[in-house]
Amino acid sequence: MDIASLSIENTALKELLAQTQASLAEHQAALAQSEEARRRLESILSDLRREKFGATSEKLSPEQYNLPLEDAEIAQGVLDAAHERAQALIRPVPKEPGTRNGNRGCLPFHLPRVERIIEPESTQCPCGCGEMARIGEDVSERLDRIPAQLRVLVTRRPKYVCRHCAGAVVQAHAPEHIVPSGLPTEALIAQIIVAKFGDHLPFYRQAKIYAREGIVLDRASLGNWVGRACFHLRPVGDCMHRHLAQAARLFIDETTAPVLDPGRKQTRKGYFWAIACDDRGHSGIGPPIVVFKYAAGRSGRFAEEFLSGFRGRFLQCDGYDGYDRLTRLERPEGPWSLVHCWSHLRRRFVKQMRNTKSPIAETAVRQIAALYAIEATVRGHAPEARLTMRRRQSAPIIEALKPWLEKQLSMISSGSVLAEDIRYALSHWEGLTRFLDDGRLELDTNPVENSIRPIALTRKNALFAGHEIGAENWALLASIVGTCKLNDVDPVAYLEKTLVAIINGHPQSQIDELMPWRFQRMSSRNQ
């Protein structure tokens, strides 16, 4: 074969090799895309399984670790009881020192004590010496329970008339009630409200509980009583809203609220918006408040409507882009400054760490944990002290974290879920790092998330609101009960006293005296 033929053949082989390499590159790219799609589907499937069957929190609480131990404790208790019964049948055995005695010695002192004395059958000496002398006693305390007591409150109003003249009849005025001439007292209505909006018991379940006590109350009556209470409590909700409007920093979040649509015989999706203030993290003097508002949708215009007239500057929220319109509002105080939530970002990397065992996600979670560790040391301190500590310890972590995230983003597939999470962090970086500029700001939106969680539990049990008016009443009562909890106030006691005060003519101009945080202070003085 001559040189020309070899050259032609060599050229053909090179072209074939180039084509093969190009084809291989295309197949490898397609395989990479397919592999990435597979990983995304596995991640989605893992998330769906976890949402349906797994824990909702990104970390395990100590109580979760104890769940398997509870069954073991029950089994141990059965075994202990059987052993003690067998020993008692054989011969009385004194209790050995050091025997496990769980929860003894820690019963609260404020609980009433009912004493019983168990005397021997005879105190005569077996030897015939006469009466034996008492030399001491053994005392044990056990926690007992009596069922909640329902009672009938009978009100009598005697009539008086003069026997010597035809004067008028004298009789005391009938007291005002939430339900005129009705069955319930204000205390019972307060209990019904808190049972539903605080303890997540729908009316039909409460009706069954009362039926076991021999009291037949249909859920329509329960709903009517609560609706009457809503009418009288509306000024309390309005006053809470006015106090909230004065806060310099707010938290906001939203959750779905299915509402029955009678015309279509199905539910439509509404939303409960939660607006909260809680200054306890920086020793603020303002009371913690949460107010819920119902809206037919999730558009940012509802947030703008609810915050109309508010005087705050900072709004702590998640990364939902509906809040972005608030940064463009023209207000006397200036547009809102959004402070984004590190907890939401951490949640994304935790999912990646669980689903893909990604070392990048694990490193990101570790860095965020370091920020939270610093926050734990300054919780409850004055804003100036918090800001000083953050700039000294948190700022270096933030400065190193952003370029590290950018570098990781350049090294991984742009279509991966991890890349989406990193882009989420970088696109919200200004809001995530705003806590370094003001000691009053928090690292996350947990205060409002914790307040909104009972709404989800009540929604789960009640399924849906009957109509939009019902959803608005739901929001009002949830606001009052939630604010009571934030202020460590018993919501049943608060609602009972407040309803009685309002029905007895408490002036609307002095409604501020009936706020939950004032009830707490009044109660503490009376103790």
Residue 471 lies in a domain: yes
Domain boundary among 444, 469, 503: 444
Please tell me whether residues 278 and 312 are part of one structural domain. Answer: yes
Question: What is the tens place of the pLDDT at every residue in 147-198?
Answer: 777 888 888 889 888 888 877 888 888 888 888 878 899 999 999 999 988 8
Please tell me whether residues 262 and 409 are part of one structural domain. Answer: no
Look-up of token digits 């800001």: 387
Give the confidence band of 67 by pLDDT, cuts at 50, 70, 90. very low
Please tell me whether residues 432 and 289 are part of one structural domain. Answer: no
Domain boundary among 384, 413, 444: 444
Distance CA 318, CA 412 (A): 26
DSSP 240-260: HHHHHHT-SEEEEEEEEEEEE
Distance CA 391, CA 382 (A): 15
Tell me: pLDDT of 63 over 80. no
**Enclosing domain of residue 380:** 342-444
Please tell me whether residues 518 and 379 are part of one structural domain. Answer: no
Radius of gyration of the chain measured on its C-alpha atoms:
33
Mean pLDDT score, 302-326: 92
Report the pLDDT value the prediction gives residue 463, as an integer from 0 to 100.
44
Domain boundary among 409, 425, 444: 444
Residue 39 lies in a domain: no
Please tell me whether residues 290 and 421 are part of one structural domain. Answer: no
Residue 201 lies in a domain: no
Please tell me whether residues 423 and 334 are part of one structural domain. Answer: no
Angle at 110 between CA 104 and CA 116, to 5 degrees: 65
Distance CA 475, CA 276 (A): 13
Helix axes 417-427, 3-53, angle to 10 degrees: 70
Nearest to 500 by CA among 223, 176, 172: 176
Task: Say how far residue 401 (Cα) sits from the centre of its chain.
Answer: 30
Report the pLDDT value the prediction gives residue 265, as an integer from 0 to 100.
56
Please tell me whether residues 346 and 322 are part of one structural domain. Answer: no
Residue 373 lies in a domain: yes
Nearest to 277 by CA among 477, 472, 445: 445
Tell me: pLDDT of 260 over 70. no
Please tell me whether residues 249 and 331 are part of one structural domain. Answer: yes
Please tell me whether residues 381 and 399 are part of one structural domain. Answer: yes
- Neighbour-count burial for 54-76, b at 16+ CB within 10 Å, e otherwise: eeeeeeeeeeeeeeeeeeeeeee
Q: What is the pTM of this model?
A: 0.74
Give the confidence band of 214 by pLDDT, cuts at 50, 70, 90. confident
Lowest-pLDDT choice from 77-81, 108-112, 447-451 = 77-81
Q: Are 364 and 419 within 8 A, CB to CB?
A: no
Helix axes 417-427, 395-411, angle to 10 degrees: 140
- Residue 508's identity, in one-letter code, is Q
Please tell me whether residues 473 and 324 are part of one structural domain. Answer: yes
Mean pLDDT score, 409-414: 90
Please tell me whether residues 352 and 394 are part of one structural domain. Answer: yes
Nearest to 378 by CA among 366, 393, 367: 393
Give the confidence band of 200 by pLDDT, cuts at 50, 70, 90. confident
Question: What is the tens place of the pLDDT at every residue in 499-525?
Answer: 999 999 999 899 999 999 998 654 444
Residue 320 lies in a domain: yes
Report the pLDDT value the prediction gives residue 382, as an integer from 0 to 100.
95
Residue 206 lies in a domain: no
Look-up of token digits 């009443």: 473
Into how many domains does the chain fold? 2
Residue 221 lies in a domain: no
Angle at 493 between CA 250 and CA 204, to 5 degrees: 90
End-to-end CA, the chain = 112
Q: Are 390 and 374 within 8 A, CB to CB?
A: yes
The DSSP letter of residue 124 is: B
Report the pLDDT value the prediction gives residue 102, as an integer from 0 to 100.
47
Report the pLDDT value the prediction gives residue 493, as an integer from 0 to 100.
94
Tell me: pLDDT of 447 over 50. yes
Distance CA 240, CA 277 (A): 11
Mean pLDDT of the chain: 82
Distance CA 117, CA 142 (A): 14
Give the confidence band of 54 by pLDDT, cuts at 50, 70, 90. low
Residue 71 lies in a domain: no
- At 266 the three-state DSSP class reads strand
Please tell me whether residues 413 and 316 are part of one structural domain. Answer: no
Give the confidence band of 408 by pLDDT, cuts at 50, 70, 90. very high
- Highest average pLDDT, of 12-16, 60-64, 80-84, 494-498, comes from 494-498
Q: What percent of the chain has pLDDT above 90? A: 42
